[in-house]
Amino acid sequence: MISVDQLTKRYGAFTAVDGISFSVAPGEVLGLVGPNGAGKTTTLRCLSGIIAPSTGRVAIAGHDLQTDGVKAKHALAFIPDEPHLFEHLTVEEHLRFVARIYGVADVEERIGPVLDELELGDKRRSLPDELSRGMKQKLAIACGLLHSPQALVLDEPLTGLDPSGMRRMRATIAARARAGTAVILSSHLLTLVEELCTKLFVIRHGKCVAYGPLSEIVSTRPELAGRPLEDIFLALTGEGEHPVPA
């Protein structure tokens, strides 16, 4: 469903992402993790068509993002960590806008359930300026989910959400995956990653340092067996080499 082959992104002499490859099948949830500046956001931006790869190939639902971008994007939803909303469109109008763009014919039937799912039902006529940070995030998520994408890319989806919103969001991601959506989830919340992801892609300095189901990753590093994900993450990324101040 999502296929990434030898993806590289360079900015001048700096290589942000260096020849990474992975794939996410329908129903799988890939956790993209790595320290700050590792290349996660650049990877996600390449996957969603915001920036073009320097070399390599990204395909969504079998469509090459570079040569068949419209069809590839039609199958995809990207939910960024910072919601980008139109200041003059209400919550409901954002959804109608998205429905027209993605050709969601049964928009009338979908709007209500999506707004209820994200607890935005009583904010239908509110402008983004009248929403809290968490509600804006929920609206961005609602826009992403409305057209039932085959591939879902989420960058820190829980940012700004309250505990109830976080729980609902976790349930939503799990439900979408069960329904056959291929999900890529980037987050620093390792408990979220551990709970939802079927496999991990650990990135550092733009390169892959580990990829596969957690059990497979641990099997290549027996000393990590039985350790919490945080320890595994720190060991894989080399972040654990720095002593923690007492």
Partner 1 sequence: MNEPGATSGAFWYLIRRSARNRLRRQGARLRQPRYAAAFALGLLYFWFFFLRSNRSGALGPEAQGALLGLFGVLVLSYLAWSWLFGTDRTALAFTRAEVALLFPAPVTRRQLILFKLARTQFGILFSVVIWSVILNRAGDPLASLMRGAGLWMALTTLSLHRLGIGLLRAGVEEHGAAGARRSVPAMVVFAAASLAVGWTIRSHWDWVSNAEEPAAAIRALLAIVDLPPASWILYPIKVAFQPVVLRDVGPWFAAAAQAMLLLSLHVWWVLGSDAAFEEAAAEASERQAKWIAQRRARRGGGAMVKAGSTRRTIPLGAKGAPATAIVWKNILWLVRTNQLRGILIPPALILIATLVFGTRDKMGLMFGVVSGVFAAMFLLFGPATMRNDLRSDLLNLPMLKTLPIPGRALVTAQVLSGAIAIAVPQLLLVGNAFVALTLEPGASRVPPDVMLGVLLGSVPLLFALNAANFTVHNGVALLFPAWVKLGERGTTGIEATGQMMMTTLATLLSLAVLLLLPAITGAIGFLIFRSTNGTAILVAASAAGLVLAGETWLMLGALGTAFEKVEPTQVAN
Contact 185, 95 (CB under 8 A): no
Q: Interface with partner 1 includes 71 (CB under 8 A)?
A: yes
Residue 160 vs 214, nearer CB to partner 1: 160
| Long-range contacts of 193-200, Cβ-Cβ distance < 8 Å, separation of 24 or more | 193/31, 193/33, 193/229, 194/229, 195/170, 196/29, 196/31, 196/170, 197/29, 197/30, 197/31, 198/28, 198/29, 198/30, 199/28, 199/29, 199/30, 199/31, 200/30, 200/31, 200/33
Contact string (CB under 8 A) for partner 1, positions 40-69, x = contact: -----x--xxxxx----------------x
The least CB distance from residue 28 to partner 1, in Å, is 21
Residue 51 vs 209, nearer CB to partner 1: 51
Q: Interface with partner 1 includes 171 (CB under 8 A)?
A: no
C-beta atoms surrounding 100 within 10 Å: 10
Cα dihedral sign, 60-63-66-69: negative
Q: Interface with partner 1 includes 226 (CB under 8 A)?
A: no
How many residues are given for the chain?
246
Positions 87 through 106 that interact with partner 1 (CB under 8 A): 87-90, 93, 96-97, 99-106
Residue 11 vs 219, nearer CB to partner 1: 11
Among 13, 14, 36, 70, binds partner 1 (CB under 8 A): 70
User: What is the contact surface with partner 1 in residues (CB under 8 A)?
Assistant: 11, 45, 48-52, 69-74, 76, 78, 80, 84, 86-90, 93, 96-97, 99-107, 125, 127, 129
